């Protein structure tokens, strides 16, 4: 008797087969696929062609699935892919999409869980380095896609009375991320972007980084630890006065003196890291 499953069942079956990471025979015989269409009834669901058996025809879709996932994640994680090599990255992608399949109409967010997944993925060498690479590359894609927000202008900054700065809170642009790294992930990303650059070894080396977008271009700014801490507090909404005072107190002699603080602050403003000032007196709050 012919098997005529309803549309919903056909689709559930075909999806289970297409996303299965094993061979086509394993996919057809998997528990999930078998629950919809027994493998021995395949010929009742899919017709053969002149040249291909039903299983071979379905296999075309199955083979393309992982290739497409690998291509999409390779675009977002080129440094991680380079570090792991083709086979290592393919294995990671296969395991990742089995745990975190796309549930969105866009592939842009497919890799959102990859940094966390790297922490538990099986068979991964240099896990900490891979984690930092993934975190950095995710931050870069997020910054790339963030909403464009205008930066605070020099005129707006100049218009703030000196006495108002202590209470001011700086609001960062949307396309901004701060990262504390334990491995030289930024140097690795840089090394794959230029020819002839030597890749740094995946050894422990603390680093701090701001990832931001300027003129629609994603940029990375290496920070010292005191600068990272100050920027973190400002981004978290701390008023400028107490944050600066805390930075100066934190490590006397560390270089976070008034002159250095002023240089950092001026540099961050020039790079357009902030979009607004809050907490000013009403007369100065219309910037």
Partner 1 sequence: MNRWNLPDLGIGVGLRTVHFGHILSRRPAVDWFEVLSENFMDTGGHPLWVLDQVTERYPIALHGVSMSIGGTDPLDREYLRKLKALAARTRAHWVSDHLCWTGVAGRNVHDLLPMPYNEEALRHTAARVRQVSEILERPLVLENPSSYVEFASSTLTEWEFLSRLGQEADCGLLLDVNNVYVSSFNHGFDPRVYIDSVPADRVVQYHVAGHTNKGTHILDSHSDHAVAEVWELFRRSCRRTGNVSTLYEWDEDIPDFDVLHAEALKARAYREEPARPPARVARGA
Residues that bind partner 1 (CB under 8 A): 2-8, 10-12, 14-15, 18-19, 43-47, 49-52, 54, 56-58, 60-61, 64-65, 68-69, 72, 101-109, 143-148, 174-175, 213, 216-217
DSSP state of 71: H
| Residue 216 C-beta: closest distance to partner 1, Å | 4
- Residue 238: C-alpha distances to residues 173, 197, 246, 265 (Å): 16, 40, 11, 14
Rounded least distance, CB 112 to partner 1, Å = 12
For residue 182, the minimal CB distance to partner 1 (Å) is: 28
Write down the least CB distance from residue 183 to partner 1, Å. Answer: 27
Nearest CB to partner 1, comparing residues 60 and 154: 60
φ, ψ dihedrals at 256, nearest 5°: -90, 45
Measured from the CB atom, is 105 or 123 closer to partner 1? Answer: 105
Beta-bridge mates of residue 217: 214
Query: Which one, 64 or 154, has the nearer CB to partner 1?
Result: 64
Looking up tokens 């919809």 gives 36
- d(CA 215, CA 96) in angstroms, rounded, equals 33
Antiparallel, parallel or unpaired: β 274-278 and 207-214: unpaired
- Of 40, 43, 45, 44, nearest to 14 by C-alpha is 45
> What letter does residue 163 receive in the DSSP assignment?
G
- Give the residue with the Cβ less far from partner 1, 56 or 254: 56
For partner 1, the closer CB: 47 or 270: 47
**Which of these, 152, 187, 163, 161, lies nearest to 273 by C-alpha position?**
152
The least distance separating partner 1 from the CB of residue 12, rounded to whole angstroms, comes to: 6
């Amino acid at each position: 008797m012919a098997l005529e499953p309803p549309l919903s069942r056909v689709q559930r079956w075909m999806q289970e087969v297409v996303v299965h990471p094993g061979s086509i025979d394993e996919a057809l015989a998997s528990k999930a696929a078998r629950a919809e269409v027994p493998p021995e009834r395949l010929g009742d669901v899919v017709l053969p062609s002149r040249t291909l058996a039903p299983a071979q025809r379905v296999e075309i879709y199955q083979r393309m699935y992982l290739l497409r996932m690998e291509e999409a994640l390779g675009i977002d994680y080129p440094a991680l892919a380079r570090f792991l090599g083709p086979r290592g990255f393919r294995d990671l992608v296969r395991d990742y999409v089995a745990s975190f399949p796309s549930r969105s109409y866009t592939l842009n967010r497919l890799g959102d869980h990859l940094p966390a997944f790297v922490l538990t993925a099986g068979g991964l060498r240099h896990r900490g380095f891979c984690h930092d690479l993934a975190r950095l590359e995710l931050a870069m894609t997020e910054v790339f896609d963030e909403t464009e927000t205008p930066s605070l202008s020099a005129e707006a900054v100049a218009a703030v009375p000196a006495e108002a700065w202590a209470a001011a809170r700086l609001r960062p642009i949307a396309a901004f991320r701060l990262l504390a790294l334990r491995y030289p992930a930024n140097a690795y990303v840089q090394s794959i972007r230029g020819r002839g650059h030597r890749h740094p070894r995946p050894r422990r080396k603390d680093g701090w980084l701001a990832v931001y977008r300027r003129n629609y271009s994603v940029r990375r700014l290496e920070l010292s630890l005191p600068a990272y801490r100050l920027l973190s507090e400002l981004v978290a909404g701390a008023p400028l006065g107490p944050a600066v005072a805390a930075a100066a107190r934190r490590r006397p002699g560390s270089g976070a003196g008034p002159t250095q603080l002023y240089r950092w602050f001026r540099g961050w403003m020039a790079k357009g890291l902030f979009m607004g000032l809050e907490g000013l007196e009403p007369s100065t709050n219309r910037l």
